């Protein structure tokens, strides 16, 4: 949908989404570059402030400074606010303020909301926005309450702030943490066997990554799985598969030297966090090469549509898998749960996969050349950036400005979506009803 601007120029919903994210990122970078944002009271170089702002708004978690030891309380609050806005979505936050102020939500705003949270139709947008706000605040407060006793025991009254920070960061799948006071860039490794922290963080990541549309479906139909929409069924089944299978691999092959209970927590946590939270309870350098490649695959897949997570999305992979299966079985069209898939969805899924793979490999290739790093290490960082994950093998703070710019671009593309950027760059054109002559080409 095109939106009139001063009676002359028209912006599409996709362009508004791009401008919204860009504006918040620049504002956040400006605030983080102020002396008040750092603990030492000195101005932060704008390039590093911009990197942190992009990482926060795009809910990634890649950092050039340790969040706990470099940023002041004001800086941490700015980062947390950027995470919240990025997780809920800039358009969702803007619409919620309009609703609170009592203003009428226009058709243009409803259309933009539809594109921002991947809703199939405009109807019910206001009700869904209310549901998103209530769910977000409720889940984040419950998560903070669950972790507060542990953090207050270890950090005193400051534990309340830490519990809230980590709850919002986990639900928004951001991966920022405040535990660098124990060891810089240590994430949650000091709590690798603490049940309350592990379980709460994992639940917050999963709840945020499943998507608001799915939770709205669950709220409406309860546990009656057969009544769920096809998309909700696909998301739940794919998510379960991507949680269980990697966890079994990590348990059997990666953490064999740990006690059984600790091994279970660490294995399942490393299965949950690559999609796309960025926390870790084990040193990633200790993973085998096969384990690192598995983490890369999980980071690229990411969460689900209409969620706080990034990546290609679970539905994209599921559609491509169903398409391949239908080809193998010589069926006319792919389907899920006795429902046929639209051909446009298949084309979009294939396009998204190609875009992510090209950006992933190209970014890793360039960083490997620029930084003289092993290809696996470079690919790990680019997968983390474009999947908006935040996991790192420890090289991000040492990267040069050019490499950081590459990662910022990948984080931005991963959050707003590659197709959104393309649709924003290309003006809406009328479809040409005429077709070119058909000629077959052999593939495979």
DSSP code, position 265? H
Q: List, as one string, the DSSP characters of 115-158.
A: HHTT-S-STTHHHHHHHHHHHHHHHHHHHHHHHHHHHHHHHTTH
Predicted model pTM: 0.87
- Position 7 scores a pLDDT of 47
Q: Give the tens place of pLDDT for each residue, 127-147.
A: 777 888 888 899 999 999 999
Of the candidates 349, 297, 299, the one whose C-alpha atom is nearest the C-alpha of residue 319 is 349
Beta strands per DSSP E along 237-313: none
Q: Which two tokens stand for residue 188?
A: 């949650």
Q: Helix (H, G, I), strand (E, B), or coil: what is residue 275?
A: coil
- Position 422 scores a pLDDT of 58
- Position 119 scores a pLDDT of 61
Using omega within 30 degrees of 0 as the cis cutoff, is the peptide bond preceding 233 cis? no
Cα–Cα distance for residue pair 106/425, rounded to 1 Å: 24
CA angle (191, 395, 72) in 5-degree steps: 60
The owner of tokens 């990662």 is: 407
Q: Helix (H, G, I), strand (E, B), or coil: what is residue 429?
A: coil
- Position 367 scores a pLDDT of 95
For the chain, give percent helix, strand, coil, nearest 5.
Answer: 65, 5, 30
- Position 275 scores a pLDDT of 78
Cα–Cα distance for residue pair 369/23, rounded to 1 Å: 32
Please provide residue 393's backbone torsions phi and psi, each rounded to the nearest 5 degrees: -90, 15
- Position 5 scores a pLDDT of 44
Q: Which residues of the chain have pLDDT under 50?
A: 1-8
Please list the residues that pair with 335 across neighbouring strands: 340
Cα–Cα distance for residue pair 435/125, rounded to 1 Å: 36
- The count of residues in the chain is 444
Of the candidates 92, 109, 137, the one whose C-alpha atom is nearest the C-alpha of residue 306 is 92
CA dihedral 347, 217, 133, 198 (to 10 degrees): -90
Q: Helix (H, G, I), strand (E, B), or coil: what is residue 433?
A: coil
Half-sphere CA count of 374, side-chain side, radius 13 A: 7
Cα–Cα distance for residue pair 351/380, rounded to 1 Å: 22
List C-alpha distances in Å: 121 to 114, 125, 360, 417.
7, 8, 32, 19
Cα dihedral across residues 209, 212, 214, 216: positive or negative: positive
- Position 22 scores a pLDDT of 85
Neighbours of 431 (CB within 10 A): 5
Cα–Cα distance for residue pair 403/398, rounded to 1 Å: 10
Of the candidates 386, 419, 214, 238, the one whose C-alpha atom is nearest the C-alpha of residue 321 is 238
List C-alpha distances in Å: 96 to 108, 109, 124.
15, 11, 14
- Position 2 scores a pLDDT of 47
Please provide residue 2's backbone torsions phi and psi, each rounded to the nearest 5 degrees: -95, 145
Q: Helix (H, G, I), strand (E, B), or coil: what is residue 38?
A: strand
Radius of gyration of the chain (CA): 22
């Amino acid at each position: 949908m095109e939106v009139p601007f001063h009676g002359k120029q028209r912006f599409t919903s996709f362009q508004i989404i791009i401008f919204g994210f860009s504006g918040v990122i620049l504002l956040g970078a400006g605030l983080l570059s102020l002396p008040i944002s750092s603990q030492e009271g000195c101005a932060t170089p704008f390039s590093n402030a911009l990197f942190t702002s992009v990482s926060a708004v795009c809910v990634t978690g890649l950092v050039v400074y340790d969040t706990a030891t470099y940023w002041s309380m004001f800086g941490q609050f700015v980062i947390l606010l950027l995470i919240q806005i990025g997780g809920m979505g800039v358009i969702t936050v803007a619409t919620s303020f309009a609703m609170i102020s009592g203003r009428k939500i226009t058709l243009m705003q409803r259309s933009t909301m539809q594109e921002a949270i991947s809703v199939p139709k405009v109807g019910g947008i206001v009700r869904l926005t209310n549901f998103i706000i209530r769910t977000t605040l409720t889940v984040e407060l419950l998560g903070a309450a669950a972790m507060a006793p542990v953090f207050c025991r270890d950090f005193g009254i400051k534990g309340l702030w830490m519990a809230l920070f980590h709850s919002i960061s986990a639900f928004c799948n951001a991966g920022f943490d405040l535990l660098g006071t124990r060891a810089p860039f240590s994430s949650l490794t000091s709590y690798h066997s603490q049940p309350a922290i592990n379980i709460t963080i994992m639940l917050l990541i999963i709840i945020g990554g499943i998507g608001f549309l799915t939770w709205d479906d669950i709220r409406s139909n309860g546990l009656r799985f057969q009544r769920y929409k096809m998309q909700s069924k696909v998301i739940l089944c794919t998510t379960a598969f991507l949680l269980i299978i990697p966890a079994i691999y990590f348990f059997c092959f990666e953490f064999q030297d740990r006690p059984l209970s600790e091994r279970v927590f660490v294995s399942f946590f490393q299965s949950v966090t690559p999609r796309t939270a960025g926390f870790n309870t084990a040193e990633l350098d200790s993973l085998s090469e096969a384990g690192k490649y598995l983490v890369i695959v999980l980071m690229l897949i990411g969460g689900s549509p209409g969620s706080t997570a990034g990546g290609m999305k679970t539905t994209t992979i599921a559609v491509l898998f169903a398409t391949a299966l239908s080809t193998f079985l010589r069926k006319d069209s792919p389907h899920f749960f006795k429902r046929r898939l639209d051909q446009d969805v298949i084309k979009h899924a294939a396009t998204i996969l190609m875009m992510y793979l090209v950006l992933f490999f190209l970014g890793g290739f360039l960083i490997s050349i620029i930084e003289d790093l092993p290809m696996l290490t470079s690919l790990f960082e680019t997968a983390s950036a474009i999947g908006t994950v935040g996991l790192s093998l420890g090289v991000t703070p040492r990267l040069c400005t050019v490499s950081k710019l590459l990662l910022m671009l990948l984080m931005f593309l991963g959050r707003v979506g590659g197709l959104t950027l393309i649709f924003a760059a290309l003006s809406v054109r009328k479809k040409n009803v005429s077709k070119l002559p058909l000629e077959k080409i052999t593939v495979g």
